């Protein structure tokens, strides 16, 4: 209990320094406290955005709750004015403790919180709201108490005191706002940065009260405040010492015990798991970017349908892991590939990590590849090059930070970069889990003047969703991917010349059985799944797509299928038992004949995925623009 023996707040304080110096010290204290308060605020926004991928919603929630709480805190501080010095000391110690440990506490809830952790993927969890409320209450109570303290130094008119105090407060907020992204985050990281900020906050509050206003508190209160601040500093220091162990333990809880690489680049956090005795998984900013269990399924579906036509000049947007690049280089006739990746550190990892390099076939070593370290939007805007194929391997459109890379303006720039008969292939996020986002991508491409062919393919469904994309129920994890193939004229959906299907057996004609194709169009290359293609039965026009395979030894028969599909979709299949897989670096070469056999993708599968998309088309969807983004969870 704070004793109420503080002198009358209207009387001038007995200061150990001159009046002008004392006034300056109060303003410096207000400056430091304001800077620390804004760092706490930005820390909550950054961590919540990282864990959910939805920066707009999380920023709105944190700012709204904190501003509301600051108003409540200001009202509550009226009762503390008679004991302003002691109350301010207690307030700053609490703020340093709560704000300093806020990031660690939220990350701990996310890593070990069970159902609470799953809530991060569904919206704004209550722990974030609770910390925003607590920090806002404490920050809001600062200004009324500082107002009393500055008047204790020297009585002046209220307007002048408010002007001086708010000037220091706003300048401190400016410094804190700039220090967080340019100093604390790159040098210390989110967790250590918050702990250091808490320590600075505690020292500033204790110095102001126990130094400048020590005569305003009795000896017992001074001892209590000294002990409390020392305890806070010890706790914050212990947290800083143990933060690396905490991060490792949290990563194990989130990603499993196979974490091999965890690095914060200049733009994002990259985590690699597995890759030694098991499949490699790549997480970027907490979201699964590459799964070694089905990465070949994804990247074959992302690249090869776009290679059905002229393909000498290829542009890959994103794809710093090198896996889309690997598939591009497998296609015959590719002469030049430009890869535009905003994070050069991710490209360095794709080049230098042994497991990831082996997975991408050391594609970055190919002399045809040119890497551009640039933002895809800005690069397209300034480049005058034209390409036969553009592959968009960018972050999921449901994250608001990437919405501009799925805007009408962006696709307009991409369309301008397409040559005659050029094709653009876009990964549009999960097809079934986020249908609105998927069909918004398709509508946006059409609004940019492109003609589209949407299709979906199935993913290997994980038994238990892992990583920051966890859901409270395993059944709600994404089970398929959505893609959109686009061009100035309606492109053909199929595999290009020299590319053979990954199916086994003889795909059936109309109403027949597909070879190892599931409803999304993939065989399970590691298993014995012989599921029937659910889109084939009775669908008109299927008889034109088949791969003949002889059952006896010797040469296989190959049959080309180019029958028109509804909506202008075409199939193109060529097969050969003796096909050479030219995967990896430098494997592709110009020329005719069969050179590449895909391991998973089939033309029949693509057509089934196109029919599946047509059956589930969502109408009335508006395109997304820079000023009116329409993607959401």
Of 64, 62, 55, nearest in space to 404 by CA: 55
The C-alpha atoms of residue 31 and residue 176 are separated, in whole angstroms, by 9
Contact status, residue 263 vs residue 269, Cβ threshold 8 Å: yes
Q: Residue 106: which residues within 8 A CB-CB, separation 6 or more? A: 44, 47, 48, 51, 127, 128, 131
Tens digit of pLDDT for each residue in 300-315? 999 999 999 999 999 9
Contact status, residue 243 vs residue 195, Cβ threshold 8 Å: yes
Inter-CA distances, 438 with 527, 630, 631, Å: 30, 11, 9
Q: Output the pLDDT for position 7.
A: 47
Q: Residue 159: which residues within 8 A CB-CB, separation 6 or more? A: none
Which position has the higher pLDDT, 212 or 556? 212
Strands 480-487 and 451-458: antiparallel
Q: Output the pLDDT for position 611.
A: 93
Mean pLDDT of 494-502: 70
Tens digit of pLDDT for each residue in 272-298? 988 767 788 898 877 788 888 888 888
The C-alpha atoms of residue 258 and residue 312 are separated, in whole angstroms, by 40
Helices and strands in the chain, H and E counts:
16, 13
Contact status, residue 400 vs residue 631, Cβ threshold 8 Å: yes
The C-alpha atoms of residue 424 and residue 402 are separated, in whole angstroms, by 18
Residue 24 pLDDT greater than 50, yes or no = yes
In terms of phi and psi (left: phi > 0; alpha: psi -120 to 50; beta: otherwise), the region of 281 is beta
The C-alpha atoms of residue 555 and residue 579 are separated, in whole angstroms, by 11
Q: Residue 9: which residues within 8 A CB-CB, separation 6 or more? A: 81, 82, 84, 148, 151, 152
Mean pLDDT of 449-466: 72
Q: Output the pLDDT for position 418.
A: 95
Residue 318 pLDDT greater than 50, yes or no = yes
Contact status, residue 539 vs residue 609, Cβ threshold 8 Å: no
Residue for token pair 């806070």? 232
Contact status, residue 128 vs residue 120, Cβ threshold 8 Å: no
Tens digit of pLDDT for each residue in 241-275? 999 999 989 888 888 778 888 888 877 888 898 87
- Read off the tokens for 435: 């249908």
Q: Worst-scoring range by mean pLDDT, 109-118, 272-281, 367-376, 401-410? A: 109-118
The C-alpha atoms of residue 286 and residue 252 are separated, in whole angstroms, by 13
Mean pLDDT of 175-179: 96
Tens digit of pLDDT for each residue in 510-555? 333 333 333 344 333 333 333 333 333 333 333 333 333 333 333 3
Q: Output the pLDDT for position 464.
A: 36
Q: Is 393 a catalytic residue?
A: yes
Q: Output the pLDDT for position 251.
A: 85
Phi, psi of 521 (to 5 degrees): 100, 30
Which position has the higher pLDDT, 95 or 53? 95
Of 81, 87, 188, nearest in space to 144 by CA: 81
For 622, which DSSP code?
P
The DSSP result for 201-242, as a single string, is HHHHHHHIIIIITGGGS-HHHHHHHHHHHHHHHHHHHHHHHH
Sign of CA dihedral 467, 468, 474, 480: negative
Confidence of residue 588 (pLDDT cuts 50, 70, 90): very low
Strands 387-393 and 313-318: parallel
Inter-CA distances, 538 with 57, 508, 511, 571, Å: 46, 11, 5, 17
Contact status, residue 149 vs residue 84, Cβ threshold 8 Å: yes
Tens digit of pLDDT for each residue in 79-100? 999 899 999 999 999 999 999 9
Mean pLDDT of 95-110: 94
Mean pLDDT of 350-354: 91
State the catalytic residue, choosing from 393, 536, 542, 545: 393
Residue 416 pLDDT greater than 60, yes or no = yes
Residue 179 pLDDT greater than 90, yes or no = yes
Q: Output the pLDDT for position 253.
A: 85
Q: Output the pLDDT for position 120.
A: 54
Confidence of residue 399 (pLDDT cuts 50, 70, 90): low
Strands 281-284 and 287-291: antiparallel
Q: Output the pLDDT for position 498.
A: 67
Mean pLDDT of 450-479: 61
Share above pLDDT 70 across residues of the chain, in percent, rounded to a whole number: 76
Of 346, 341, 351, 339, nearest in space to 285 by CA: 346
Element (H, E) at 264: strand 259-264
Inter-CA distances, 532 with 520, 536, 558, 614, Å: 10, 8, 22, 19
Q: Output the pLDDT for position 264.
A: 82
The C-alpha atoms of residue 588 and residue 326 are separated, in whole angstroms, by 10
Mean pLDDT for all residues in the chain: 79
Q: Output the pLDDT for position 552.
A: 35
Share above pLDDT 90 across residues of the chain, in percent, rounded to a whole number: 49
Residue for token pair 């034109």? 544
């Amino acid at each position: 209990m704070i004793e109420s023996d503080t002198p009358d707040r209207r009387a001038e304080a007995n200061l150990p320094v001159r009046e002008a110096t004392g006034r300056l010290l109060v303003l410096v204290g207000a400056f430091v406290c304001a800077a620390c308060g804004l760092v706490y605020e930005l820390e909550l926004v950054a961590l919540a955005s990282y864990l959910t991928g939805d920066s707009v919603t999380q920023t709105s929630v944190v700012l709204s709750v904190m501003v509301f709480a600051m108003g409540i805190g200001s009202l509550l501080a009226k009762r503390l004015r008679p004991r302003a010095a002691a109350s301010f000391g207690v307030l700053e110690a609490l703020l340093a403790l709560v704000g300093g440990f806020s990031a660690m506490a939220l990350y701990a809830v996310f890593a070990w919180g069970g159902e609470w952790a799953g809530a991060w993927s569904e919206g704004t969890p209550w722990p974030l709201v609770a910390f925003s409320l607590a920090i806002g209450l404490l920050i809001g109570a600062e200004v009324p108490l500082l107002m009393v303290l500055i008047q204790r130094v020297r009585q002046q008119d209220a307007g002048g005191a408010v002007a001086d105090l708010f000037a220091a407060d706003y300048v401190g907020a400016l410094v804190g706002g700039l220090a967080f992204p340019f100093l604390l985050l790159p040098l210390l990281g989110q967790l250590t940065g918050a702990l250091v900020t808490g320590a600075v906050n505690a020292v500033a509050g204790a110095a102001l009260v126990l130094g400048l206003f020590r005569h305003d508190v009795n000896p017992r209160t001074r001892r209590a405040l000294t002990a409390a601040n020392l305890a806070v500093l010890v706790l914050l220091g212990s947290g800083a010492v143990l933060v690396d162990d905490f991060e490792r333990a949290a990563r194990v809880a989130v990603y499993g015990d196979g974490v091999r690489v965890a690095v914060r680049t200049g733009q994002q956090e990259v985590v690699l798991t597995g890759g030694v005795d098991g499949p490699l998984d790549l997480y970027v900013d907490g979201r699964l970017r590459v799964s070694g269990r089905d990465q070949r399924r994804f990247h074959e579906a992302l690249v090869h349908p776009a290679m059905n036509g002229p393909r000498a000049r290829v542009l890959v947007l994103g794809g710093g892991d090198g896996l889309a690049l690997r598939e591009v280089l497998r296609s015959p006739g590719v002469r030049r590939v430009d890869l535009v990746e905003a994070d050069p550190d991710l490209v360095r990892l794709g080049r230098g990590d042994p497991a990831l390099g082996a997975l991408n076939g050391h594609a970055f070593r190919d002399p045809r590849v040119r890497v551009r370290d640039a933002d895809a939007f800005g690069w397209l805007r300034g480049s005058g090059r034209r390409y036969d194929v553009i592959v968009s391997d960018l972050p999921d459109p449901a994250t608001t930070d990437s919405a501009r890379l799925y805007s009408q303006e962006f696709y307009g720039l991409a369309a301008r970069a397409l040559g005659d008969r050029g094709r653009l292939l876009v990964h549009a996020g999960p097809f079934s889990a986020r249908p609105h986002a998927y069909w918004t991508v398709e509508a946006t491409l059409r609004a940019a003047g492109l003609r589209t062919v949407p299709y979906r393919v199935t993913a290997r469904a994980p038994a238990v969703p892992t990583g920051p994309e966890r859901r409270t129920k395993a059944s709600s994890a994404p089970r398929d991917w959505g893609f959109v193939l686009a061009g100035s004229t309606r492109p053909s959906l199929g595999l290009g010349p020299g590319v053979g299907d990954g199916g086994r057996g003889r795909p059936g004609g109309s109403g027949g059985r597909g070879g190892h194709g599931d409803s999304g169009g993939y065989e399970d290359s590691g298993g014995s799944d012989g599921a029937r293609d659910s889109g084939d039965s009775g669908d008109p026009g299927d008889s034109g797509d088949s791969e003949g395979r002889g059952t006896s030894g010797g040469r296989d028969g190959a049959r080309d299928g180019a029958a028109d599909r509804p909506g202008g979709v075409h199939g193109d299949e060529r097969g050969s038992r003796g096909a050479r897989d030219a995967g990896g670096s430098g494997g592709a070469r110009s020329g005719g004949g069969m050179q590449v056999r895909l391991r998973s993708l089939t033309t029949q599968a693509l057509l089934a995925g196109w029919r599946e998309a047509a059956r589930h088309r969502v109408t009335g969807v508006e395109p997304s623009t820079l000023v009116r983004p329409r993607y959401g969870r």
